[in-house]
């Protein structure tokens, strides 16, 4: 998520975080100033570590989220309501990593927006949309699990309901991201060299006060309230799942009848008890996986939202004339962005380690990627069929010839004794 930069102020200091360029034109030539600018925007040694970390997250996130979509689409048994929401979350994370991350990293390192006004509008709105899609999808997953496990008789979610919910999620997310598409522009800093794009930022144009209100609104509506709702639902889910019986479930009634009211095993119905226990264990694993996803989401986005609110509240005082403090602020922004993208890449890893179904489908998808293309497989199958048909024909011909020869030999044996019999010849 692109951190909004404060609008430039001509009365502000002539330095930015980790950048200090003297702009006197009386003693320095244009070539010397440009050389100093390029040296200042070139990544410092400590930032190369963050660049490598971003690259790792980019590759792992794209592959992992693509595997999630492939696994659910290929296996019909995995097209549950929860997995449909997980695919929606993977699509949002894939789009963020593909379109937002390659643009955010150079902006964080060089403090310059190189990509023009159109990309500024599109990328900023897409980042806000992705945050909204992620948090709303996680909220709907918790709602679905809460109804399914705590109140199964009140509401039963279906795939059609999940698709309608996903459509609603994207509509709300587009509405949240539209203002950023309208009011985002490229702003040069007050120390930006004239006629160049160096030291510019992509930020909104609605003023510092409105920027603070927007940051607080996003923090409350896109982080705090959904997180409180998810904490409530998962606390209820954990309380129900870690009990001997789940209210309203036929499996739970069978489990109670088999194991007794205190949850201990009885001497009858061992197979039914094993089936119910395995069913409950699988639901517990799914609940653990979703709780881990929510915890990582809460931690990663907390850092981003806090920096956005602090930066909007401080305004121009966020800039530091001290070079060391400026580098620390720049590093904090880069780390916050990395955590945001790490959240988009880590979910498939969680599914792989905590879900045997996803792990099995991931392996199948990886193995199929190394198989020959379908056309080659079709040609091989056709050649195999032709060869087998030829062999069948040869074997049939051999059997026919052997059968014919055996018949002829039997006829000859039957005819020879008749010709050598003298009695029959005299009679004829």
Contact yes or no for 341/97 (Cβ under 8 A): yes
What's the per-residue H, E or C state across 125-149?
HHHHHHHHHHHHHHHHHHHHHHHHH
Q: What CA–CA distance (Å, rounded) separates 31 from 248?
A: 77
End-to-end CA distance of the chain: 114
Contact yes or no for 283/237 (Cβ under 8 A): no
Q: What CA–CA distance (Å, rounded) separates 89 from 96?
A: 11
Report the number of distinct structural domains present in the chain. 1
Six-digit token pair at 215?
């940051």
Q: What are phi and psi of 115, to 5 degrees?
A: -110, 10
Those residues of the chain that have pLDDT short of 50 are 4-27, 246-269, 376-380, 397-401, 403, 410, 413, 415-428
Contact yes or no for 6/208 (Cβ under 8 A): yes
Phi-psi region of 248 (alpha: psi -120 to 50; beta: other; left: phi over 0): left
Stretch (H or E) spanning 16: strand 15-16
In a domain, 143, yes or no: yes
pLDDT of residue 416: 45
In a domain, 31, yes or no: no
CA dihedral 124, 125, 126, 128 (to 10 degrees): 90
pLDDT of residue 220: 94
In a domain, 239, yes or no: yes
- 79: domain CATH number is 1.20.1070.10
In a domain, 78, yes or no: yes
In a domain, 225, yes or no: yes
Domain that holds residue 365: 37-369
pLDDT of residue 372: 53
């Amino acid at each position: 998520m692109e951190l909004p930069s404060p609008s430039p102020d001509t009365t502000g200091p002539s330095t930015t975080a980790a950048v200090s360029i003297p702009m006197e034109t009386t003693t320095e030539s244009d070539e010397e100033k440009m050389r100093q600018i390029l040296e200042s925007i070139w990544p410092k040694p400590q930032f190369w570590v963050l660049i490598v970390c971003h690259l790792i997250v980019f590759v792992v996130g794209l592959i992992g989220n693509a595997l999630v979509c492939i696994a659910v689409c290929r296996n019909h048994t995995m097209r549950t309501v929860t997995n449909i929401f997980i695919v929606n979350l993977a699509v949002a994370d894939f789009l963020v990593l593909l379109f937002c991350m390659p643009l955010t990293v150079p902006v964080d390192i060089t403090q310059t927006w190189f990509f023009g006004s159109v990309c500024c509008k599109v990328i900023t709105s897409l980042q806000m949309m992705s945050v909204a899609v992620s948090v709303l999808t996680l909220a709907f997953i918790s709602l679905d699990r809460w109804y399914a496990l705590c109140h199964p008789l009140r509401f039963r979610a279906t795939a059609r309901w999940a698709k309608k919910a996903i459509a609603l999620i994207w509509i709300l997310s587009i509405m949240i991201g539209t203002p950023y598409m309208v009011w985002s522009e490229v702003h040069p800093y007050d120390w930006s060299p004239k006629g160049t794009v160096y030291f510019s930022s992509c930020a909104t144009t609605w003023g510092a006060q409105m920027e603070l209100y927007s940051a607080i609104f996003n923090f409350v509506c896109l982080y705090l309230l959904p997180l409180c709702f998810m904490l409530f639902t998962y606390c209820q889910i954990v309380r129900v799942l870690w009990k001997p019986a789940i209210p309203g479930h036929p499996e739970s009634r069978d489990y109670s009848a088999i194991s007794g009211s205190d949850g201990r095993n009885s001497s009858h119905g061992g197979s039914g008890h094993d089936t119910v226990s395995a069913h409950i264990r699988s639901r517990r694993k799914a609940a653990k996986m979703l709780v881990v996803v929510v915890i990582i989401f809460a931690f990663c986005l907390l850092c981003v939202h806090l920096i956005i609110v602090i930066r909007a509240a401080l305004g121009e005082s966020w800039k530091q004339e001290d070079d060391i403090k400026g580098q620390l602020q720049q590093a904090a922004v880069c780390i916050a962005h990395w955590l945001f993208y790490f959240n988009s890449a880590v979910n498939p890893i969680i599914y792989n380690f905590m879900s045997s179904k996803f792990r099995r489908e991931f392996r199948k998808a990886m193995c199929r990627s190394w198989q020959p293309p379908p056309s080659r497989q079709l040609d091989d199958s056709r050649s195999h069929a032709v060869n087998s048909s030829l062999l069948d024909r040869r074997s049939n011909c051999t059997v026919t010839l052997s059968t014919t020869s055996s018949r002829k030999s039997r006829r000859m044996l039957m005819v020879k004794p008749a010709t050598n019999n003298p009695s029959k010849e005299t009679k004829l």
